[in-house]
């Protein structure tokens, strides 16, 4: 009788307590995920662990974690062989801006790389005057910098001398006082003094960013197990619920408030 009572209490506790969902974060977005989980009134315990990508994938396949945050897209063959599905949830576009008074409206990707490597020092090779480029970059911990260092620079180094700026407001101040200003920042509401440049002729509109036409942009993905034997797990169901919330109209606004851009329109499937 005592064993039956203990078992009944354990079942009751399991049904009352919210299911725990474990997320492996490989891209340093714990703050954003916690903001989303709390703001979307997620009725479950969320545990976020920092992990390397290979370790996170192993734990996902073994059922030790329920979701993996990654900036890597699995192709169709990988999804089938690994029994993992992935969904894009956010984008981190890098904006190239200059003074609104500057006649330059476009910069090629190749020339931008040369500016960042310190190979181009004046505006003349970019179609402008011969005055020096005053390069300013928003600090590394701001949204958009992953796109700069990974998606854009790749394995090359940022060698150009630049002025570190704390936020988009600083970009606007420099744009208003320096004729040779060229700024690099994440997706943000820039002041009128600064204007975004097209890269390779493609303007950084939301449509162009979402479609992939505008680069450089880092993509963020959620990986979730596709194993049949995981489907009835309460934690797996919680992970599916969270994935659904990530693609809801409420999440779109929250993601953009964190300095990123929602990768898809609400309810749009990959």
* Closest to 259 (Cα-Cα) out of 98, 90, 110: 90
pLDDT score for 19: 61
Q: Give pLDDT tens digits for 186-226.
A: 877 777 788 999 999 999 998 999 888 998 888 899 999 99
d(CA 2, CA 205): 66
By the 10 Å C-beta count (0-12 exposed, 13-18 middle, 19+ buried), 233 is classed as middle
Q: Residues of CATH 3.40.190.10 domain(s) within the chain?
A: 2-91+218-262, 92-216
Fold type of domain 2-91+218-262: D-Maltodextrin-Binding Protein; domain 2 (3.40.190)
Lowest mean pLDDT among 25-39, 189-203, 256-270: 256-270
C-alpha span between 99 and 103 (Å, rounded): 9
Confidence of residue 1 (pLDDT cuts 50, 70, 90): very low
Cβ neighbours, 10 Å, residue 136: 20
Per-residue pLDDT of 74-100, as tens digits, reads: 999 999 999 999 999 898 888 999 988
Length of the chain in terms of residues written: 270
Residue 6 pLDDT > 60 = no
Of 247, 253, 250, nearest to 265 (Cα)? 247
Helix (H, G, I), strand (E, B) or coil at 82: helix
Which CATH class, in words, describes the domain spanning 92-216?
A: alpha beta
The percentage of the chain sitting over the pLDDT mark of 90, rounded to a whole number, equals 34
197/130: higher pLDDT? 197
b/e map of 148-183 (b: 16 or more CB within 10 Å)?
bbebbbeeeebebebeebeebebbbbbbeebebbbb
């Amino acid at each position: 009788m005592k064993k039956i009572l203990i078992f009944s209490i354990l079942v009751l506790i399991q049904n009352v307590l919210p299911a725990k969902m474990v997320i492996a974060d490989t891209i340093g977005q714990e703050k954003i995920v916690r903001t989303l989980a709390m703001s979307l009134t997620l009725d479950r315990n969320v545990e976020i662990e920092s992990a390397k990508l290979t370790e996170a994938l192993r734990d996902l396949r073994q059922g030790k974690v329920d979701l993996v945050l990654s900036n890597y897209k699995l192709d169709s063959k990988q999804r089938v062989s690994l029994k993992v599905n992935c969904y894009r949830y956010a984008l981190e576009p890098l904006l190239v801006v200059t003074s609104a008074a500057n006649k330059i409206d476009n910069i090629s990707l190749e020339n931008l790389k040369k500016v960042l490597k310190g190979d181009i020092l004046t505006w003349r090779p970019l179609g402008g005057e011969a005055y020096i480029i005053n390069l300013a970059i928003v600090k590394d911990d701001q949204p958009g910098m992953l796109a700069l260092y990974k998606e854009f620079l790749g394995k090359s180094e940022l060698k150009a001398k630049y002025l570190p700026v704390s936020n988009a407001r600083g970009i606007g101040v420099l744009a208003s006082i320096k004729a040779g200003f060229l700024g690099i920042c994440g997706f943000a509401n820039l002041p009128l003094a600064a204007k975004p440049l097209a890269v390779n002729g493609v303007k950084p509109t939301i449509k162009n960013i979402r479609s992939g036409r505008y680069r450089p942009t880092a993509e963020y993905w959620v990986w979730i197990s596709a194993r049949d034997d995981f489907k009835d797990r309460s934690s797996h169901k919680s992970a599916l619920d969270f994935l659904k919330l990530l693609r809801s109209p409420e999440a779109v606004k929250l993601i953009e408030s964190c300095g990123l851009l929602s990768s898809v329109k609400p309810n749009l499937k990959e």
